[in-house]
A and B are shown apart, each in its own frame.
Chain A
Amino acid sequence: MKVLVAVKRVVDYNVKVRVKSDGSGIDTAGVKMSMNPFDEIAVEEAVRLKEKGAATEIVAVSCGVAACGETLRTAMAIGADRGVLVESEVELQPLAVAKLLKAVVEKEGAQLVILGKQAIDDDSNQTGQMLAALLGWSQATFASKVELDGTQAKVTREVDGGLETIAVKLPAVITTDLRLNEPRYVTLPNIMKAKKKPIDTLKPEELGVDVSPRLKTLKVAEPPKRGAGVKVPDVGTLVARLKTEAKVI
């Protein structure tokens, strides 16, 4: 079974982002970029499926600027076999990415797509569900455990109030939650090996997809600042102030 993993290049999760002073967006100049952490979990899961013999080939796909090629190299260093870069200078919104991924899935004949449940930049949490819808496939979102069983996947999902296990017919789209696995560290030999793995570059036009943004960002602003309050010297003072000043207990 061919598995496709989608990986997004995002501002590294350790970076404290800054809003541009003109309110047009986030300042990404000179900022460290990395693979979206949830997508790293997706790649790891695919590699584990291959190691177990359940997957035959892992194709990593990234949509965006040319630098997304670096993200594909990271995916291949974790263990993906090859990469597909859908290169576009246009801001790609989730619906456009889902359409691009659909085209690649059909071109590749993949039977399973694994991707992060959300990207930590726009926090949309949409692409996997949209892709499943466009393909007419089943979906298993927020996965914390995946078992493949012939024609179906049994997936445990993190939901409000606990865990839920569902059975989805293959082909399917799975989106990963934090506790699905812990991605391996990439080793230097694997980074070197990844450099030799092939990357195909495609354009949205070649895939017949209109990627024009549907949502217009009018402005990006700093959230209201929450000022630091006071330090209290002891528990007695804390309890007293919660009762008489904040009046919350």
Chain B
Amino acid sequence: MTALVIAEHDNQVLKPSTLNTIAAALLCDPQVHVLVAGQNCAAVAQAAAQAAGVGKVLCADAPQLAAGLAEASAAQVLALAPSYSHILAPATAFGKNIAPRVAALLDVAQVSDIIHVQSPDTFDRPIYAGNAIATVQSSDKVLVITVRTTGFDPVAATGGTAEVSSVDAVADAGLSSLVGRETTKSERPELTAAKIIVSGGRGLGSKENFEAVMTPLADKLGAAMGASRAAVDAGYAPNDWQVGQTGKIVAPQLYVAVGISGAIQHLAGMKDSKVIVAINKDEEAPIFGVADYGLVADLFTAVPEMVKQL
């Protein structure tokens, strides 16, 4: 049989999360197809066809698929499902919204957030905010899976030569519609794809301080900006910057935690980073328990000093 990957995109660009998902799919089955469901999304289908390891790209192009809404997207996947042994989506806000809907309609379990493929029916996945790793086996006829992107190195974005074929779009049930999006415009790298992340916590004390202290550091390092839940809840940083169990899961080359104490929910989102730096004035802060380099210091003097020395 064959594995089907649900591509994440914005009708123009294929999101990098798709490449990590393809990598996981190839470990389940050497035959991988990619579904690009959207509107005027031919460029995305072409990009998916170039991804290494992809055998075929299916493109469903229709107005009801434009916004990636769960009801229409899941119906589209379901129409194609009988040909596949595995259906995979990235464990992002997009994939997590759609995949369980597909699984339920197929009357199969979903395996969420896998970080390792043991065999085509057996997977490792974190539970309890990553404080334990469960190995689970499915006996269902089709496996619906969401993939934690940090668990799999992406396949190469180019080099593939898959054919693109159109598939009929499923009729719109009209259950939901997009009203609008407020996306954070930023020149910085995307949080989940960044090589370096600087992340601020409650220790920053205010939104103004967060910007004044963290922005120069991010600029100097070419880093994405993140935040702890405490900082987001306090309004210091936007919600989509939240790193942690219920926010974004990241694993950059370098993660600089500034004024973050290190609640287990936060550690769950960043402890797979290659190198972790913690700057905190409380030497007992749990973040030092996972940091490769800890600096016990007042962040308001240490961070500007660091910016100067970089």
Contact, CB under 8 Å: B288 / A130: no
CB-defined interface of A210-234 with B at 8 Å, one 1/0 digit per residue?
0000111111111100101111101
On B, residues with C-beta under 8 Å from A are 67, 69-71, 74, 92-94, 96-105, 107-113, 122, 126-140, 174-184, 190, 192, 196, 221, 229, 232-233, 238-240, 245-246, 248, 253-254, 264-265, 271, 274-277, 283, 288-297, 302, 305-306, 309-310
A242, B104: Cβ atoms closer than 8 Å: no
User: Which A residues touch B92, using CB under 8 A?
Assistant: 160
Question: Complex formed: what's the CA distance from A214 to B103 in Å?
Answer: 12
* Contacting pair A140 B240 (CB below 8 A): no
**A133 / chain B contacts, CB cutoff of 8 Å:** 74, 100-102, 104-105
Is A159 touching B295 in the complex (CB atoms < 8 A)?
no
List the B side residues contacting A123 at CB < 8 Å: 112-113, 126-129, 245
In the bound assembly, the distance between CA atoms of A162 and B232 in angstroms comes to 13
Q: Are B110 and A231 in contact (CB under 8 A)?
A: no
B97: chain A residues at CB < 8 Å are 129, 139, 141-142
Report if A231-B94 is in contact (Cβ < 8 Å); known contacts: A130-B101, A221-B133, A238-B277. no
**Partner of B176 from A118, A158, A167 at Cβ < 8 Å:** A167
Establish whether residues B292 and A17, one from each chain, have CB atoms under 8 Å apart when the complex forms.
no
CB–CB A126/B178 < 8 A: no
Contact B292–A230 (Cβ < 8 Å): yes
- Majority secondary structure, A binding face: mixed
CB-contacts of A192-249 with B (<8 A): 214-223, 226, 228-232, 234-236, 238-239, 241-242, 246, 248-249
Cβ of B131 and Cβ of A249 under 8 Å apart?
A: no
Once A98-B104, A132-B101, A229-B293 are accepted as A-B contacts, the answer to whether A154 and B136 lie under 8 Å apart by CB is no
Nearest CB of chain A from residue B253's CB, rounded to whole Å: 5
Interface set, chain A 88-135, CB cutoff 8 A to B:
93-95, 98, 117-118, 120-134
If over half of B's interface residues share one DSSP class (helix, strand or loop), that class is named, otherwise mixed; here it is mixed
Kindly identify which residue among B70, B239, B296 contacts A139, using a CB–CB cutoff of 8 Å: B70
Q: A26-B132, A133-B105, A248-B253 are in contact. Are A235 and B110 (CB under 8 A)?
A: no
Residue contact B136 to A218, C-beta cutoff 8 Å: yes
Supply 5 further A-B pairs (C-beta < 8 A) apart from A126-B100, A162-B238, A217-B134.
Answer: A158-B239, A166-B177, A228-B294, A231-B296, A239-B306
With an 8 Å Cβ cutoff, the count of chain A residues facing the other chain is 78
Given known pairs A16-B131, A162-B182, the reply for A129 and B310 (CB within 8 Å) is: no
Nearest residue, chain A, Cβ from B246: A178
Contact B93 A126 (CB under 8 A): no
Known: A160-B93, A216-B136. A130 touches B104 (CB 8 A): yes
A216 touches B294 (CB 8 A): no
Q: Which residues of A contact B108 (CB under 8 A)?
A: 95, 214
Give, as a whole number of angstroms, the nearest-CB distance from A221 to chain B: 5
Nearest chain A residue, comparing its CB with the CB of B70? A139
B178 touches which of A11, A125, A164, A221 (Cβ 8 Å): A164
Q: B136 touching A217 by the CB < 8 A rule?
A: yes
Which among A19, A121, A144, A230 is the interface contact of B293 at CB below 8 angstroms? A230
Task: Give complex CA distance A244, B235 in Å.
Answer: 37
A149 nearest CB across to chain B (Å): 11
Interface centre among A137, A138, A178, A235 (most CB of B within 10 A): A235
Please list the 4 inter-chain residue pairs (A to B) with the smallest Cβ-Cβ separation, ordered nearest first.
Answer: A229-B292, A130-B104, A129-B100, A214-B109
A228 and B288 alpha carbons, distance in the complex (Å): 7
Cβ-defined contact, B128 with A11, below 8 A: yes
The yes or no answer to A2 lying at the interface (CB within 8 A) is no
Contact of A163 among B181, B254, B290, B309 (CB under 8 A): B181
Say whether B110 contacts A124, CB under 8 Å: yes
What 0/1 pattern do residues 157 to 186 of A give for CB contact below 8 A with B?
111111111111100000001110000000
Expressed in whole angstroms, the minimum distance between the Cβ of A227 and any Cβ of chain B is 8
Tell me if A121 and B127 are in contact (CB < 8 A): yes
Bound complex: CA A117 to CA B130 (Å): 17
Identify which of A138, A159, A221, A231 contacts B288 (C-beta below 8 A): A231
Contact A231–B294 (Cβ < 8 Å): yes
